[in-house]
Structure 1
Amino acid sequence: MTSTMSFAHRRAGHCGSGSLRDLLEFEGLDYGRGPLTEEMVFGLAGGLGFFYAPDPSWAPPFYLVGRTDDLERDIADVLDADLEVKESDDAEQGWAWASEQLAAGRPAMVRADIAELEYLRVKMSNTRHAILVVRHDPEAGVVWIADNDRDELVACSLKSLAAARTSSGFPSPNRNATYVYRWPDQLPDLRVAVTRALTRAVDNMTGAVVSVGDLPGASGLAGVDAFVSGYERWPDDLPDALLPAAMSGLWVFIVKAGTGGAMFRSLHAGFLREAGELLDDSSLRALADHYDRLSAAWVALGDCAKTGSHRDGIALARQVGELEHAGVALMTQMA
């Protein structure tokens, strides 16, 4: 074995925040009450975001995601870590970077296309999937991976991992992206970190358009508004044959696609509640209650989508839009 490191892994609601949670526990970094939860890590990364890109040539005819594309990068700024993101189209170079991390006794955080990971057995391409390579058996040509979708480490062939890391699938080539973190000896003051994270989340929702994989679309609150208005027009704008696919896809994007079950809003709510408890801050707890309501609205919209009830979802989509705007206004007052 290249590495025999002691490593704790837990199933998570989302790949990026789950991998970062595992990394921070491995480094022994927390706020004195044991390992950080995934919700806390998602929030400290300033992970809340929104991106909507409609395209009738896709199946489903749009792409929707409720996190920022830079979650894995932004956590370094919030927590005073150094980060180098290495990228190359050369699979051998990509594996060399991962191997260097393993040889140094650290897990390697990499991006991989879920369609190419043999243990997942899925057909849908997503090159933005973050995983941790934890161990390697060079003689067997096998690595062990910590994946948010699995309770335990899972074996994967080097061939499958290489294909997943060099994929040119949707939404963009992942180019063997390898995240090399240099964590501080201790985390910054919690109040400072929470303020930084809220500022980041507000910027994600109000700043310039930030694309995912260079897709043309709208981000932040403008993306929310585009989604709500687009949803209302689906029966008129989409061919009859595409509306069922759009509704089915909407349920997946809200509930199933590694979103924590509620378009990432429940992860953000959990962060706010934990931060409020640790800091004894009633404003943070009240903000958590708001994002609980927003999470419930998203889930209710997902339920309508699952049953194909577009008309029943119109009022819910509008409610989602109103709660999204109100949540950002509340965060702005605290950031």
Structure 2
Amino acid sequence: MRLESFQPQVGVHCETTTLRNMLHHAGARLSEPLLFGLGQGIDFQYWDPPVPGRSAPMLTGRVGPGELSHRACAALGAELCASRPPDADAARARTAELLAAGHVVGVTVDIYHLDYFSSRSHFASHYIALYGLDEEPDDGHGGGLAYVVDTDQQGGAQTLPGESLRRARNSDEGFLPSPNLQMHIGGLPKRLTTDSTAVAHEEIWQAIRATAARMLSDRGPERGLSGLRKAASDVPGWRDTLTPGEELVPGVGRFWRYAGTGGANFRGLYGDFLREARQRTADAALDGPADAFDGVRQQWDEAIDLLLGYGEAPDPGGRLKAVETLMHAIADAEQAAFERLLRLATRRVGESP
């Protein structure tokens, strides 16, 4: 069974792509950057390596899985329903019920088990939008096809074996697994289904203020700007602590660039959100912060390029020091941008009726 009226929506980040597809099918035509901004998705989180010396730390540029969707839906007044059936059979049965009721279903998966994914590493915090399931054969061994939407980088709308989806959903391996988690949109305010410009200025400014306040707050040494500075200071030591560094260091760069969890992609999304917020609010004061995030994204890309070329570098230590310098400069630039946004949003919220 497939949702015949479903229209796949492309995106660059897995959770916002999934959320956009769920909302679009429910009747709310909203952009991915707007959802990212309303969901307060930007962050920095530092996770120690699971195997010290043999694996790299996990450095992510977003909030934790699921937080963005809940915050965005709360800002929009949309009902987000999430559940986690106890096993793979129950999860599939519940998903089939939701599809039959006309819902696009967002599910968390381990990319290792997705046939169309090139990664051979376990990463279980990935989201895809499910819009169809074929009936499985009577032998009970799994089968049929699943119809999903992934990010544009992964090909957008995809078809994969039902058993592949089953394994991916049921996996408890990889980063922050949540086996069989699923979500759907239970209901929308009528204003969102009749007018794509119905997002209130107040909702936008509240999200900007909350994001800036969180990024500037002290949440310990591994979160926000403190986490970014900790990561920067640790980078030069990777030459001695990561073995083999020629593989692990470029692996961090590939992860940041292609997996979507690094700094550049999310900083670009946030800059796009600020530009859309400027258009929706007609507030030219947002031009400066939006331009600032363009510069931040460029700096992230420069750091990623340095990591990707680490194995061939004549001076590997010097290359890592250059990455450290860039990351500290990024932290300074992000702090200045968020301080500016916090002052601006606080004034605008105070001016709202």
Shared fold (TM-score greater than 0.5)?
yes
Contact 1:198 1:334 in 2 (8 A): no
Partner of 1:281: 283
Partner of 1:32: none
1:169 equivalenced with 2:169 (yes/no): no
**Matching of residues 76-155 of structure 1 within 5 Å:** 76-139=73-136, 141-148=144-151, 149-155=153-159
Tell me which stretches of 4 or more aligned residues in structure 1 moved more than 6 Å. none
Alpha carbons of 1:189 and 1:72: their partners in 2 closer, same or farther (altered >3 Å)?
Answer: closer
TM-score, scaled to structure 2: 0.83
Partner of 1:62: 57
Distance in 2 between residues matched to 1:209 and 1:164, nearest whole Å: 32
Partner of 1:247: 249
Q: Percent sequence identity over matched residues? A: 27
Q: 2:147 corresponds to which letter in structure 1? A: W
Alpha carbons of 1:56 and 1:18: their partners in 2 closer, same or farther (altered >3 Å)?
Answer: closer
Distance in 2 between residues matched to 1:48 and 1:4, nearest whole Å: 32
1:45 equivalenced with 2:49 (yes/no): no
Contact 2:117 2:154 in 1 (8 A): no
2:161 to 142, 157, 161: 157
> What is the Cα deviation at residue 18 of structure 1?
1.2
Contact 1:126 1:169 in 2 (8 A): yes
Partner of 1:256: 258
Q: 1:319 corresponds to which letter in structure 2? A: A
5+ residue gaps, structure 2, are 137-142, 193-197, 311-318, 346-353
Distance in 2 between residues matched to 1:263 and 1:220, nearest whole Å: 16
Distance in 2 between residues matched to 1:324 and 1:158, nearest whole Å: 43
Q: 1:274 corresponds to which letter in structure 2? A: E
Distance in 2 between residues matched to 1:333 and 1:304, nearest whole Å: 34
Contact 1:110 1:130 in 2 (8 A): yes
Q: Name the SS for the 1:175 alignment partner.
A: coil
Q: Name the SS for the 2:191 alignment partner.
A: coil
> What is the Cα deviation at residue 11 of structure 1?
3.3
Distance in 1 between residues matched to 2:73 and 2:115, nearest whole Å: 31
Q: 1:199 corresponds to which letter in structure 2? A: R
Q: CA RMSD in A?
A: 2.3
> What is the Cα deviation at residue 203 of structure 1?
4.6
1:332 equivalenced with 2:329 (yes/no): no
Alpha carbons of 1:152 and 1:251: their partners in 2 closer, same or farther (altered >3 Å)?
Answer: closer
Distance in 2 between residues matched to 1:108 and 1:194, nearest whole Å: 26
Contact 1:133 1:146 in 2 (8 A): yes
Distance in 2 between residues matched to 1:101 and 1:203, nearest whole Å: 37
Alpha carbons of 1:278 and 1:260: their partners in 2 closer, same or farther (altered >3 Å)?
Answer: farther
Alpha carbons of 1:6 and 1:105: their partners in 2 closer, same or farther (altered >3 Å)?
Answer: same
5+ residue gaps, structure 1, are 30-34, 211-216
1:20 equivalenced with 2:19 (yes/no): yes
Q: Name the SS for the 2:264 alignment partner.
A: coil
Distance in 1 between residues matched to 2:177 and 2:49, nearest whole Å: 19
**Matching of residues 161-240 of structure 1 within 5 Å:** 161-182=165-186, 183-187=188-192, 189-207=199-217, 209=219, 218-235=222-239, 238-239=241-242
Distance in 2 between residues matched to 1:203 and 1:181, nearest whole Å: 28
Larger helix share, 1 or 2: 2
Distance in 2 between residues matched to 1:286 and 1:190, nearest whole Å: 22
> What is the Cα deviation at residue 314 of structure 1?
2.8
Alpha carbons of 1:152 and 1:84: their partners in 2 closer, same or farther (altered >3 Å)?
Answer: closer
Contact 2:49 2:57 in 1 (8 A): yes
Alpha carbons of 1:234 and 1:79: their partners in 2 closer, same or farther (altered >3 Å)?
Answer: same
Deviations 1:282-319 (A, max 9, x none): 12221111111111111111111111132332321221
Alpha carbons of 1:232 and 1:162: their partners in 2 closer, same or farther (altered >3 Å)?
Answer: same
Alpha carbons of 1:142 and 1:209: their partners in 2 closer, same or farther (altered >3 Å)?
Answer: farther
Number of aligned pairs?
A: 321
Q: Name the SS for the 2:127 alignment partner.
A: strand
> What is the Cα deviation at residue 60 of structure 1?
3.7
Deviations 1:259-298 (A, max 9, x none): 4881410000001011102211112221111111111111
Distance in 2 between residues matched to 1:291 and 1:152, nearest whole Å: 26
Distance in 2 between residues matched to 1:184 and 1:272, nearest whole Å: 24
Distance in 2 between residues matched to 1:8 and 1:75, nearest whole Å: 21
Partner of 2:328: 318
